[in-house]
Structure 1
């Protein structure tokens, strides 16, 4: 894997799920909600706009959520590819604040969705008229003594194109008695998490970021922040690991990927609906402490890589999303192995955590309850010589790819 793909690492492949809600706010809330097949579209700073009874939505992010490939948008028409066919939409675009907007009903219906307005929740609901089968993803099964464990490799951020998931996921979850995740992002008090980030991720000795990284890296960061309508010193109080994840999250949000649509949260919400217990394999504090324990050199190196490849983050996340949807084990293994370039990084992010999580899964398998567990953790934790699959095999279990 090339270095550019690492820019999306913390927020996509591993356990930065909780960081998006804990870091500095960078997106304005939308006045109206738009849902595609029950999943809310996150529009970042460009919210839907209602004018004269018509709701206009940002063209680029909405097209992505509808799996509609844009070709052109000018002269009062929009040319796009839908289901492999080029079509022309008779929807006159509007340009507002440099962003192209189109009527949601016209673009939704052209893409094959039924469009409805829910006045109570102020939500525009787009429902596909064609039932799609979602991506293959990563799913394994382990059995022992009447206990069954389903191991799911997650992408912590996603978009609506991931859904509906492949039936194998929903069928396995329907049979499960417990859901296990890295952290339950719905259970923590947001204020407490913010305080924890402030405590661990900001300087307490009167110094600022500028005092801890090179002048070149600091200048590069400031230029990117200014280009994104933030002050050059907006993140000065935070340590490099916080800044890196904030910057990567900013760019992935622009590309339409959100933790609110991630595989983890999808099943946490379903567990709440079914009223089944959610087990945390880790804690907010343990994950944040891990990031904070990175050496000064590693923190700046990771930040520099993210800054160098800022404009490529969306491309990297697209590639990882494609890997997940295809269930490409070879690509996942290659991605995981790329993390071994830096021993400190690999040991903290993967090796130590894999051992701890595999031990807890081993405990589930040896339990006397004869229960079924649905375990959802970052996909990069499973493969390789120190991955959870190998660790369980070394304990004598048969792990079956589904």
Structure 2
């Protein structure tokens, strides 16, 4: 694992030959912008790199992973509870070992959270909740790139499109760890323990658009150890999105597509797939 350079040292170093996680996609006639997002940031991460502003200003429409407004509705909250908790029909104890439960209890105790609060959560929600607790401890309390541009786009009257429904996204999430629950929860605990040392480098790679480093740091081990989950959450969804993106490339409007940065690199990432379709994909600088 790479060490995180201090802010003082980083300010003395020249930036690498990258800019931001924003790409211009073109077929010679029509244009689309692709922006990698982090879904939650700290106040210090703003303002965003200038390339995001450029892509936004030159776009007629915004394209998000899903309908952001719908994620805040009571109906979606109820559906999430139904799919991500056990309700009256079971407990986390049914799906994970005593050793893993002890790991979870020890980890949560260090953060002042009783393990009983997690016993009704299915493994997928355990992993999400562990990450959210760690994000708050690390000062990530602000809206991410997608929510920021959703709010801005609403105010500016931009047209908006979505790559999948909230229900589809929830289905993907709910299947995390399915059939391998014990190993998934154990991995989630160890993963959040590494978050403090990884976060600085991860955000640097994102801001600089260094997708090779971003992949190596945050995705390569995950892809190797949990290929089924990687395929479910990333490869399958990327494949599902490609017909939508190719359809958008036939319209005269210019779209700014904003998706989680993990969807962009790798052999099945959107950049590779767009290039395979014959599009020109140029990183903005």
TM over 0.5: yes
Which residue number in structure 2 is paired with residue 261 of structure 1?
143
Q: Considering only aligned residues, what root-mean-square deviation do their CA atoms show, in Å?
A: 2.6
1:297 Cα deviation from its structure 2 partner = 4.4
Taking the aligned partners of 2:114 and 2:51, their CA distance within structure 1 comes to 47
Q: By percentage of residues, which structure has more strand?
A: 1
Q: By percentage of residues, which structure has more helix?
A: 2
Query: Among residues 143, 153, 161, which one is paired with 1:279 in the alignment?
Result: 161
Query: Among residues 36, 40, 46, which one is paired with 1:157 in the alignment?
Result: 40
1:276 Cα deviation from its structure 2 partner = 0.8
Query: Among residues 369, 372, 391, which one is paired with 2:254 in the alignment?
Result: 372
Which residue number in structure 1 is paired with residue 264 of structure 2?
382
Query: Among residues 56, 59, 64, which one is paired with 1:176 in the alignment?
Result: 59
Quickly say closer, same or farther: Cα 1:168–1:273, change in 2 above 3 A.
Answer: same
Query: Among residues 198, 206, 213, which one is paired with 2:81 in the alignment?
Result: 198
Quickly say closer, same or farther: Cα 1:299–1:282, change in 2 above 3 A.
Answer: farther
Work out which of the two has the higher radius of gyration on C-alpha atoms and give 1 or 2: 1
Gaps of 5+ in 2: 13-17
1:289 Cα deviation from its structure 2 partner = 1.0
Q: How many aligned residue pairs are there?
A: 274
Pair 1:350-2:241 in alignment: no
Does the Cα contact within 8 Å between 2:91 and 2:119 map onto a contact in 1?
Answer: yes
**Runs of 4+ that moved beyond 4 A:** 81-85
Higher relative CO (Cα under 8 Å, sequence separation at least 6) belongs to: 2
1:295 Cα deviation from its structure 2 partner = 4.6
Does the Cα contact within 8 Å between 2:177 and 2:184 map onto a contact in 1?
Answer: no
Taking the aligned partners of 1:343 and 1:84, their CA distance within structure 2 comes to 37
What is the TM-score with the length of structure 1 in the denominator? 0.63
Quickly say closer, same or farther: Cα 1:184–1:318, change in 2 above 3 A.
Answer: farther
What is the TM-score with the length of structure 2 in the denominator? 0.87
SS at match of 1:383: coil
Which residue number in structure 2 is paired with residue 324 of structure 1?
206
1:319 Cα deviation from its structure 2 partner = 2.1
Pair 1:290-2:176 in alignment: no
Query: Among residues 186, 207, 212, which one is paired with 1:304 in the alignment?
Result: 186
